[in-house]
Amino acid sequence: MLENYIPIIVLFGIAIVLAIILMSLSRLLGPYRPNKNKLNPYESGMDPVGQAKERYSIGFYLVAMEFIVFDLEVIFLYPWAVGFLDLGLEAFFAMTIFIVILFIGLWYTLKIGTLDFSMKPTLANR
């Protein structure tokens, strides 16, 4: 039974050997001029070391909210798409209403300026 796993071990071996070869090649052939920024762990541009208590712009949360709109849409669209033919016309209308409601939410967040990072997002006060 265990011999079934031999191809996987071979695959792991090849991956490791290949990674070592490629890294050494790039080190040997390419230019090597290290500095502090280059040697930092990569964290999508954020400073990887710092205070745990940090304040973010509230704009990030609003963008996250927009992300949730699309996220929810996808969660419901996939099962619906899989069963589209069985579910029929009623499900089509139900999903249309659902998407319209989500779209209104997105419309609202765009309208109050969540993607406009130059300006502070405000509630539509007064």
Partner 1 sequence: MDYLYDLNTFLPATIMAAAGLVAILMAAYKARIGNIFNFTIVALVMALAVSIRDLFGPDGTAFFDMIAYGGTAAFGAFLVTLGTLFCVVISRDYLEAIDHHYREVYAMILFGSTGMVGLAVSNDLIMLFLGVETMSICLYVLAGLIKGEKIGAESALKYVLLGAFSTGFLLYGIALIYGATGATSYAVVAGAAEATPLFLAGTALLLVGFFFKISAVPFHMWTPDVYQGTPTTLTAYFATASKAASFIALVLVLSRMIPEIEGVELTQLLQVIAILTMIVGNLIALVQDNVKRMLAYSSIAHAGYILVGLAAGTPEGYTGVLYYLFAYTIMNIGAFGVIAYYERNHALDFTDVHNYAGLGYKFPVMGVLLSVFLFSLIGIPPFVGFLGKYYVFAAAVNAGLVTLAVIGVLASAASVFYYLRVMVYLYFREPHKEYQLVRPGALFKYSLILLGILTLWYGIEPIFPTDSLIELISTYY
Interface with partner 1 (CB under 8 A): 90, 93-94, 101, 104-105, 107-108, 111-112, 123-126
When the beta carbons of 28 and 101 are compared against partner 1, the nearer one is 101
When the beta carbons of 19 and 91 are compared against partner 1, the nearer one is 91
Min CB(50)–partner 1 separation in Å: 25
CA separation for the pair 102, 69 (Å, rounded): 6
- 87 and 44 in contact (C-beta within 8 Å)? no
CA separation for the pair 93, 75 (Å, rounded): 17
CA separation for the pair 114, 61 (Å, rounded): 9
Min CB(72)–partner 1 separation in Å: 13
